[in-house]
Amino acid sequence: MDDETSIRKIEHLKLCANENVESLYVSAGFDDIMLVHRALPEMDMDEIDMSFHLFRKKLSFPFMIASMTGGHADTTPINAALAEAAEEMRIGIGVGSQRAAIDDKKQIESFRTVRDKAPSTLVYANIGAAQLREYGIAKVEEAVEMIDADALAIHLNFLQEAIQPEGDVDATGCLDMIREISNSLKVPVFAKETGAGISREDALALVKAGVSAIDVGGVGGTSWAGVEVYRAEQSGDEMREHLGKLFWDYGIPTAASIVECKVSVPVIATGGIRNGLDVAKSIALGASVASAALPFVKPAFEGKDSVIKELNIVKRELQTAMFLSGCETIEELANAPIVITGKTMEFLSQRGYNLKDYSVKDML
């Protein structure tokens, strides 16, 4: 069982690096979001302050390397490269699911290296909602202590669980466990979808349960149903392959899910974030921070410098978007007017949201 989990981790990483695992026909929705251009920004672009605080940690700009990997010896140098880049750039980073290390102590180093290489920046631990009842508070605390985490992500990946052959599809009691863990841990706890988005109904339930933030993990980026299609093809599992293809693009696109999750806690925009303009649009929609994983997989195989190169591009893109929107701070960007069009507008309108709240913000 332990070896199976570890092998699955390296399989997932290699598939993400080498195959097309992104959403096929449903976008994250950022093409439907337009920032209102300011032809007279009346500022010095070099004076823009992009810093932001999350979970009591200061980030140089509101971005994190999303949960990606760990749990196999071959993932250790990947996590090390990502963590070194996060530390140097002063952004956040999350580890992949720590289930493999909780079940097999030999895998701890593949996660611990993240804190070792990123001693001062924001690092968050990660455990699946499907494992909470089995593990209980003690093992969840073990995951946090394993990497001296500043926060804990509880990932909600029931779409993937429903498709992969090893999946745990008993979702009963998860909300009660999230409530218990949120009230017991010494670090902030946040809920994190992994590619299917979070609705307003679930966002409200999670906040009531005590989470400190919500990571929307919407449709438009990596499809874990798609990842499982490749595994099913390799094993000759026709049913799993069929399910993965059918649900490849299933869920709520990221842009819409950001609006759905604007309740009373910070929102983390994940799912199809591919550049700094996407980050800017996410924040104007209501997110506090954005994150991405897939764009950094291949650079991580090359090493820290390649990851830093990609991060610097995202940072410069965000700075440019803020300049052209007339925003000197992240707080101003959060209040910048936007126009919502296309399928995102249709989705949100049918869900009953007042889109005028986004287009009539005070620009002066």
The pLDDT score that the predictor gives to residue 24 is 96
Residue 364 included in any domain: no
Point out the residues of the chain with pLDDT beneath 70: 1-3, 359-364
**What residues are paired with 224 via a beta bridge?**
none
pLDDT at 359: 66
pLDDT at position 363 is 42
Q: Give the C-alpha separation, 277 to 115, whole Å.
A: 29
Going from the C-alpha of 13 to that of each of 205, 222, 227, 237, 354, the distances in angstroms are: 32, 12, 10, 20, 40
The predicted pLDDT at position 254 comes to 98
Residue 184, domain member (yes or no): yes
Provide the pLDDT for residue 257.
98
**Range list of H helices, the chain:** 2-18, 76-89, 99-103, 108-117, 132-146, 158-163, 174-184, 200-209, 224-235, 238-246, 254-260, 276-285, 297-302, 304-324, 330-334, 342-350, 356-359
In a domain, 53, yes or no: yes
Residue 176 lies in a domain: yes
- Please state the φ and ψ torsions of residue 16, each to the nearest 5 degrees: -65, -30
pLDDT of residue 95: 97
pLDDT, tens digit, 9 for 90 and up, residues 150-174: 999 999 999 999 999 889 999 999 9
Question: Which pLDDT score, from 0 to 100, does residue 15 have?
Answer: 85
Cα–Cα distance, 326 to 335 (Å, whole number): 11
Q: What angle do CA 143, 147, 152 make, to 5 degrees?
A: 55
Rounded to whole angstroms, the Cα distance separating 250 from 223 reads 9
Burial track 316-354 (b if 16+ CB lie within 10 A, e otherwise)? ebbbebbbbbbbbebebbbebbbebeeebbebbeeeebe
* Structural domains counted in the chain: 1
CB-side exposure of 320: number of CA atoms within 13 Å?
Answer: 10
91 within some domain: yes
Give 253's strand partners.
219
pLDDT at position 214 is 98
* Beta strand pairing call for 57-59 and 52-54: antiparallel
Report the pLDDT value the prediction gives residue 138, as an integer from 0 to 100: 96
Q: Which residue in 298, 318, 284 sits closest to 91, CA to CA?
A: 318
Question: 219: which strand partners?
Answer: 253
Q: Which residues contact 116 (CB under 8 A, 6 or more apart)?
A: 80, 83
DSSP state of 360: S
What range defines the domain where residue 112 resides?
A: 2-359
pLDDT at 361: 59
Q: Residue 262 belongs to a domain with what CATH number?
A: 3.20.20.70
pTM of the model: 0.95
